[in-house]
Amino acid sequence: MVETKGDELGLQILRAVQDLGVRMDRLEAQVNHLGVRMDRLEAQVNHLNTRVDALTTRVDGLSARMDKQEKWMERLGAEFVVFREEVRGDIRQWRTEQQEEHRRLKKRLDVTSSTVVLVASVLRGPTEFSVELEAHLSELHAS
């Protein structure tokens, strides 16, 4: 009976060891599977790090480019303000010159119209034509 109990106990121990071996094999397979997943995750993280580095480099480049463009736009804005003021000055000068020329021509026209009226009245004497001419020239002179 002791021998049967010893055999049973041996069989139980053997089954327990076999079950433990099976469980250890499953656990080892799970650990290996987790190792593979960790390797894949590590590769993905490395790939993401590479992409982030590339994006960081690109953003830095774009930032530098934007800084250059901002400076360029500020310079162009300042140049435009100077140009606009120069154009305004030129227009003011041109307007002054045109007004002066207009005044000068108006004076010449006044003198010329008076001269024409006098010459016409002297040459023709008082006639209907000279009265109309004088009236017309007076209208021109008034405007």
**Each residue's pLDDT tens digit in the chain (143 positions)?**
667 777 888 888 889 889 898 999 999 999 999 999 999 999 999 999 999 999 999 999 999 999 999 999 999 999 999 999 999 999 999 999 999 999 999 888 877 877 776 676 666 665 666 677 777 777 777 76
Q: Does a structural domain hold residue 130?
A: no
What HEC string does 85-105 produce? HHHHHHHHHHHHHHHHHHHHH
Residue 65: what pLDDT? 97
Q: Does a structural domain hold residue 8?
A: yes
Q: d(Cα 85, Cα 118) in Å, to the nearest integer?
A: 49
Q: Does a structural domain hold residue 107?
A: no
Residue 41: what pLDDT? 97
CA distance to 103, 108, 109, 120, 131, per residue, from 117 (Å)? 21, 14, 12, 5, 9
**This prediction's pTM:** 0.47
Q: Does a structural domain hold residue 134?
A: no
Q: Does a structural domain hold residue 74?
A: yes
Of 120, 28, 42, 81, the C-alpha closest to 135 is: 120
Residue 134: what pLDDT? 72
Residue 114: what pLDDT? 75
Domain containing residue 7: 2-102
Residue 119: what pLDDT? 73
When divided into structural domains, the chain yields a total of 1
Q: Does a structural domain hold residue 63?
A: yes
Q: Does a structural domain hold residue 124?
A: no
